[in-house]
Amino acid sequence: HGAFTFTALYFVSHWSAKNYPWKGRSTLYCAVAPLLLQIPGLCEFLLLCNARSVESRSFDALLASGASIAVQPGGLLEQVETDAERERVFFPARLGFIRKALKHGTLLLPTYAFGENQLYRTASWVRRLNKWFYKMFGTGNLVVLGIGGVPTSPILPNPLMLPIYRNGLHVRFGEPVDIGPRNEDPTDEEVEAAFEKYLVGLRKLFDKHK
């Protein structure tokens, strides 16, 4: 996820370009936090770029229509835990993205954004502060170290919030993972088994390109 998910911007811009000029309903979407769709101006921009809410109802409707969705399972927790010195991924306890894939019989495509953790400097005190805000209010990063390591906040956008100059960001795709046939109500054991298949594909992708 990184301090801010520039990868999502890649997906929405790439997919929008791929679907231009408009020739009917798109089948490619990017899932974003519902909060982003409540901000005037940003909401309209994201919707035009084929971003949709990560909420369960939206997910089901899109997958039922045959659409493909890019999702970052770690969400806000992975964001506030971002560490420029470590590569870590987080997954929700109930593995909702696995359950949705099983419910709709959808393949999973492991994807990793190399360099996203390094787009901003990080510090332990910043992580502690953002984790406190996350636990108390359910927010993402409210404090980041901007240009020159100066603390700044997305609440007050300013030039210091630009990512580190010339820091590379490389998105790599793995092989599609077939986690099994359509299953409307998978057991926890079936979800865990499907998750293990996905992790094998993700580790293979990471080891190949790290």
Where do the structural domains in the chain lie, given as residue ranges?
Answer: 6-209
Report the interhelical angle of 96-104 vs 56-64 (nearest 10°): 30
Angle at 65 between CA 12 and CA 59, to 5 degrees: 60
Q: State yes or no: pLDDT of 15 exceeds 70.
A: no
Say how far apart CA 147 and CA 127 lie, in whole Å. 17
Q: What is the pLDDT of residues 104-145, one digit of tens each?
A: 999 999 999 899 999 888 899 999 999 999 999 988 899 999
Distance CA(5)–CA(144), nearest Å, equals 13
Better-scored residue on pLDDT, 29 or 18: 29
pLDDT (tens digit per residue) in 184-203: 999 999 999 999 999 999 99
User: pTM for the complete prediction?
Assistant: 0.85
